[in-house]
Amino acid sequence: MTIALDHTDRRELLARFLRYVQVDTQSDDSSTASPSTEKQKDLSRLLAEELAELGCADARMDEWGYVWATLAANLPAHHPAAGKVPAIGLIAHVDTYYATPGGGVRPQVIETYEGGDIRLPGDPRQVITAADNPNLGACVGHTLVTSDGTTLLGADDKAGVAEIVSVVAWLRKHPEFLHGPVHIAFTTDEEVGRGTEHFDVAAFGARYAYTLDGSDLGEIEDETFSADTAIVTLEGYDVHPGYAKGKMINAVRAAAAIVERLGHEFLPETTEGRQPYLHPFDLKGDVSRATLRLLVRAFTDDELHAREEVLRGVVAEVEELFRGLRAGIEIKESYRNMAYKIAEDPQVLEVALEAVRRMGIEPVRKAIRGGTDGARLSFMGLLTPNVWAGGQAFHSVQEWVSLEWMAKASECCLHILDLWVEKAGKP
């Protein structure tokens, strides 16, 4: 049978997406609660209800705001793959990036995009330019969705959420499409690095899974950064500034000295591709005490540790420069490159790549300069490469997405389910 979302399916996908992005689900990187913001549960409740209406009898939201649901296999007993198809998981996250305004999203729908720059109506200074967004050229004639320029859109990752729900809706409409067990999970707090904190892999029940949290059409991502967070604490000494000569030890100046001494060739703004970086992203404190937080990112553990050693050397140099300063460094592991685990059982990747080919698209195997829930899940025993969701310029007020690319992501999931049946049915 033909695997494709028709015009009605696509309009339903668009309606779902527009509904979801208007629910404020920003996470909060300063919160220790779980989820970090209660408002994430507003969308989770809605999703659990929708999945139940679409035939997932076990759809529910748990105390952490995660949504769980299952579609049972529908293979007849005489089918050669019956009882052999591994359970497949489809995963996306409900929260949006914490550092860009995300409440009160007013989505703008551009039917039949004609090309060129897109000026956003909520803030005339915000223009999505064709020069800075080369993928716009590939989306002429598509239906595009943006925010009004005052908030992010939330395609990261509500596009993925809408695409998965649309897969469930399509399967309900097409009972003749045979598939194995399908497990759905929508997580919270991915944007603050805690998306799998309460994820019970055994209870989820999938053998393999796919996150829908990527960007460009045809991209399958099986590699992420390895990631740590470095926390540098600096203890100075404060006295009245009028009588400070030879006495004051300024922790703020010491922090600034550390930042200035970081190699400029290893900053996010100067690196690309497979280059590692060291990113100072948060500084708080006063003369007496300052805390500097840095992201450490690299595709190999050796490169990751090399960046951390550079940081230790810089801190030691500054500690020597500011006599009497007391400095400490804590390294917290965030996640590791999922390529190490996927290489142990690459069929999960091979199925995804073949699914893209069967859609008539040449797959693009890509390494993510970032991370997904799939990175941690792969190390937790659930191999989880990443499929594109279509969002562009994520984390910014110029975020946009193509409805056609979203529909293709849903179709890719259906091809993946089909291929696992085909694979299991072979002698």
For the residues 273-289, what does the mean pLDDT come to?
96
Q: Do residues 64 and 204 both lie within one domain?
A: yes
Rounded Cα distance between 202 and 99, Å, is: 33
Contact 163, 34 (CB under 8 A): no
Contact 47, 210 (CB under 8 A): no
Rounded Cα distance between 253 and 322, Å, is: 9
DSSP state of 136: G
Contact 262, 280 (CB under 8 A): yes
Give tens-digit pLDDT for 324-371. 999 999 999 988 999 999 999 999 999 999 999 999 999 999 998 988
Residue range of the domain that includes 287: 226-335
Rounded Cα distance between 99 and 213, Å, is: 19
Active-site pick, 12, 157, 189, 190 = 190
pLDDT at residue number 193: 87
Q: Do residues 126 and 259 both lie within one domain?
A: no
At 80, which amino acid appears? P
Q: What CATH number does the domain containing 328 carry?
A: 3.30.70.360
Q: Do residues 290 and 420 both lie within one domain?
A: no
Cα of first residue to Cα of last residue in the chain, in angstroms, is: 22
Q: Do residues 91 and 104 both lie within one domain?
A: yes
Q: Do residues 250 and 220 both lie within one domain?
A: no
Count structural domains, the chain. 2
Give tens-digit pLDDT for 391-405. 999 999 999 999 999
Strand 108-110 to strand 144-146: parallel, antiparallel, or no bridges (unpaired)? antiparallel
Let me know if 427 is exposed, middle or buried by CB neighbors in 10 A (0-12, 13-18, 19+).
exposed
Token pair, residue 101, equals 């305004």
Count Cβ atoms below 10 Å from residue 186 Cβ, excluding itself.
29
* Residue that is last in its domain, among 301, 335, 369: 335
For the residues 261-277, what does the mean pLDDT come to?
95
pLDDT at residue number 360: 97
**161 within a domain of the structure (yes/no):** yes
Contact 26, 2 (CB under 8 A): no
Count Cβ atoms below 10 Å from residue 131 Cβ, excluding itself.
7
Report how many helices (DSSP H) and strands (DSSP E) the chain contains, helices first.
10, 17
**1 within a domain of the structure (yes/no):** no
| Helix runs in 274-332, H state only | 301-321
Check pLDDT > 90 for residue 323. yes
* Residue that is last in its domain, among 313, 335, 357: 335
Q: Please confirm, yes or no, whether 62 is among the known catalytic residues.
A: no
User: Which DSSP helix (H) or strand (E) runs through 113?
Assistant: none
pLDDT at residue number 371: 81
Q: Do residues 211 and 260 both lie within one domain?
A: no
Q: In 3-state terms, what secondary structure has residue 277?
A: strand
pLDDT at residue number 1: 79
Q: In 3-state terms, what secondary structure has residue 118?
A: strand
Token pair, residue 129, equals 């330019």
Q: Do residues 40 and 156 both lie within one domain?
A: yes
Rounded Cα distance between 316 and 307, Å, is: 14
Q: Do residues 191 and 75 both lie within one domain?
A: yes
**2 within a domain of the structure (yes/no):** no
pLDDT at residue number 273: 92
Q: Please confirm, yes or no, whether 190 is among the known catalytic residues.
A: yes
If phi over 0 gives left and psi between -120 and 50 gives alpha, with beta otherwise, what is residue 285? left
Q: Do residues 74 and 63 both lie within one domain?
A: yes
Q: Do residues 212 and 310 both lie within one domain?
A: no
Check pLDDT > 90 for residue 427. no
Strand 182-187 to strand 88-93: parallel, antiparallel, or no bridges (unpaired)? parallel
Q: Do residues 122 and 181 both lie within one domain?
A: yes
DSSP state of 35: S
- Residue 386: which of 204, 217, 213, 216 has the closest Cα? 213
Tell me the percentage of the chain whose pLDDT exceeds 70.
Answer: 100
Q: Look over the chain and give the mean of its residue pLDDT values, rounded to a whole number.
A: 97
Q: What CATH number does the domain containing 182 carry?
A: 3.40.630.10
Contact 60, 48 (CB under 8 A): yes
Rounded Cα distance between 159 and 157, Å, is: 5
**350 within a domain of the structure (yes/no):** yes
* Residue that is last in its domain, among 335, 365, 384: 335
**212 within a domain of the structure (yes/no):** yes
**26 within a domain of the structure (yes/no):** yes
Check pLDDT > 90 for residue 196. yes
Check pLDDT > 90 for residue 372. no
Q: Do residues 61 and 189 both lie within one domain?
A: yes
How many residues in total does the chain contain? Answer: 427
pLDDT at residue number 370: 84
For the residues 93-110, what does the mean pLDDT come to?
97
Let me know if 426 is exposed, middle or buried by CB neighbors in 10 A (0-12, 13-18, 19+).
exposed
Active-site pick, 12, 24, 50, 95 = 95
Check pLDDT > 90 for residue 425. yes
**247 within a domain of the structure (yes/no):** yes
